[in-house]
Structure 1
Amino acid sequence: MFDLYMTRLHELTVLVYALSVLLYFIDFVQNNRKANQVAFWLLAFVWVLQTSFFLFYIVKTGRFPVLSVFEGLYFYAWVLVSLSLGINKLLRMDFIVFFTNILGFVIMAIHTFAPVQYNSVIMAKQLISELLLIHITMAILSYGAFSLSFVFSLLYLIQYNLLKQKKWGTRLLRIADLSKLERLSYILNVIGVPILFLGLVLGLQWAFIKVPNMTWYDPKVLGSFIVLCLYSVYLYLRVGKGLYGKTLALWNIGAFLIVLLNFFFFGKLSSFHFWYA
């Protein structure tokens, strides 16, 4: 019972860590100081949990826990979080903190969901099942964000054409203005991209455990990374190149068509990627 309780706390740590990375990403693309502050305190909470687990393990084993690969991974993740907090507080180098925590999250996820570290076979299988559940949930949440973003881009094009053709009327008034539609579409993609990225990280972790003969050129795997790349390019065009307007809306609509293709078609071609019980 105690081991199950500790496992749940580890899972909570990963979820809080994922939320922190998400907020750091929002700050990275939008210069959102409020998101940065919340991300920092979430990261501090992760550090408190990690340190508590670390000290408990030292007391339980009577040694410094770095003698196995999995113990080393946990210590590595703890070091990355500690360095991130120090950099954030002392040097104010937010972007370094963001990219460091992407690595830290990957390490933490590998440690938490690796079944080799669990003595109970039943618990190991349960962890693998929960890892798959979290992966699927995060992927669907990201697809939900992309779907709403697509709707706003579609409304943007409709409104754009109405204005261009000077078709004034009730329909025009009932659709939000172009700048608002574009901003909402952009914000949803800012949320969707990191959620999809984190979901893919967990999905790969599950695949390496459960599907030892997995190939990188599997249609579903390739499709998921293509989707991630397309929306990452969208953010680059919006933030890095300052692209606005109809071209960006068309890109967003095209990217969503690939989302649909990946969701409904590529999964059927995959050698392993289907809904597991």
Structure 2
Amino acid sequence: MIDMTRLNEATIIIYALCVLLYFIDFLIHNRKVSKAAFWLLSIVWVFQTFFLFNRMYEIERFPVLNMFEGLYFYTWVLVTLSLALNKFIKAEFIMFFTNVLGFIMMALHTFAPSQHESVAVSGQLVSELLFIHITMAILSYGAFSLSFVFSLLYMLQYNLLKKKKWGKRLRRLEDLSKLEHMSYVLNVMGVPMLLLSLILGIIWAYIKIPNFGWYDAKVIGSFIVLSTYSFYLYNRLVRELQGKAVAYWNIISFLVVLINFFLFGSLSNFHYWNY
């Protein structure tokens, strides 16, 4: 029988080595190092997928009902998206920055002080509507995370060009227009997913929660996130703004996502992310 604890520890070690190799490639650009990092990341994805389905088998539901489970699924989404992107675009730097974020989230998941949800609470909350709501929210956060990475790379490329630092690092980055376009496309995907998630979440809350109130911290925070990214799309589509202005706003929007995920989630009256 497989020791899940030991396998999880091995996954953390492999993921750490993967991020290290991506960092080395980020500095010196070595194709062998980059290829080794990609295959290590593929192994991490296989292990994560195995853990995910094993967890589903153990608890007989999709594992997204608490902070412990949500962080793991969020990390799996980041790894999956980064592997998929690597197949379609030149993604050397994107792989590094995305998986630094993914590793941080996986470390938080692994070393979280509370890793067991309340059985009574989970049983009460089991609902297909709730599963769809949470899953879509986390998928939208995954899209926003990658969009954030593209905006960071845009600012890095912009500053290198402005300072006229022509070198290998500049040539390895995508051009500004492509970085901005990918950031925009990911937000176009993320905003409707988050909107649908909020709609389903509100429907579920009215059905399942007595005296549901709109003043809940998580509800307010989620609508703030939706508003910030909607304003980004408004500036990009209606006002036709491009360049640093929208990149800065996208970075600020992702900081709002992190505040909502960690701070507002812990202050919520009915989002059971701390059990």
TM-score, normalization by structure 2: 0.54
Whether the 8 Å CA contact 1:150–1:253 is kept in 2: the answer is yes
Larger radius of gyration: 1
Residue by residue over 1:93-112, the C-alpha shift from the partner in whole angstroms, topping out at 9 and shown as x without a partner, is: xxxxxxxxxxxxxxxxxxxx
Alignment partners' CA distance in 1, 2:272 and 2:204: 13
Matched, 1:178 2:176: yes
Alignment partners' CA distance in 2, 1:133 and 1:160: 41
Equivalent position to 1:160, from 145, 158, 161: 158
Equivalent position to 1:264, from 262, 265, 270: 262
Alignment partners' CA distance in 2, 1:262 and 1:240: 27
Alignment partners' CA distance in 1, 2:232 and 2:134: 23
What is the 5 A alignment of 1:187-266?
187-266=185-264
Alignment partners' CA distance in 1, 2:231 and 2:169: 32
Equivalent position to 1:273, from 265, 268, 271: 271
Q: Which runs of 5+ in 2 are unaligned?
A: 1-122
Residue by residue over 1:234-275, the C-alpha shift from the partner in whole angstroms, topping out at 9 and shown as x without a partner, is: 000000000000010000000000000100110100111124
Q: CA deviation at 1:217?
A: 1.2
Alignment partners' CA distance in 1, 2:274 and 2:244: 40
Equivalent position to 2:133, from 135, 159, 162: 135
Which consecutive aligned stretches of 4+ in structure 1 deviate over 6 angstroms post-superposition? none
- Corresponding residue for 1:144? 142
Partner of 1:207, secondary structure, is: helix
TM-score, normalization by structure 1: 0.53
- Corresponding residue for 2:117? none
Q: CA deviation at 1:129?
A: 1.2
Alignment partners' CA distance in 1, 2:272 and 2:259: 15
Whether the 8 Å CA contact 2:265–2:273 is kept in 1: the answer is no
Alignment partners' CA distance in 2, 1:249 and 1:223: 21
After superposition, the Cα gap between the structure-2 partners of 1:126 and 1:223, relative to the gap in structure 1 and judged at 3 Å, is closer
Letter in 2 for 1:183: H
What is the 5 A alignment of 1:26-175?
129-175=127-173
Whether the 8 Å CA contact 1:128–1:206 is kept in 2: the answer is no
Alignment partners' CA distance in 2, 1:126 and 1:183: 43
Partner of 1:176, secondary structure, is: coil
Alignment partners' CA distance in 1, 2:187 and 2:234: 11
Partner of 2:207, secondary structure, is: helix
Whether the 8 Å CA contact 2:214–2:220 is kept in 1: the answer is yes
After superposition, the Cα gap between the structure-2 partners of 1:219 and 1:127, relative to the gap in structure 1 and judged at 3 Å, is closer
Q: CA deviation at 1:219?
A: 0.7
Letter in 2 for 1:213: N
Q: CA deviation at 1:198?
A: 0.4
Q: CA deviation at 1:127?
A: 9.8
**Count of residue correspondences:** 153
Letter in 1 for 2:254: F
Q: Which runs of 5+ in 1 are unaligned?
A: 1-124
- Corresponding residue for 2:81? none
Letter in 2 for 1:266: F
Residue by residue over 1:139-172, the C-alpha shift from the partner in whole angstroms, topping out at 9 and shown as x without a partner, is: 0000000000000000000000000000110110
Alignment partners' CA distance in 2, 1:195 and 1:185: 16
The alignment-based identity, stated in percent, is 69
Q: CA deviation at 1:212?
A: 1.9
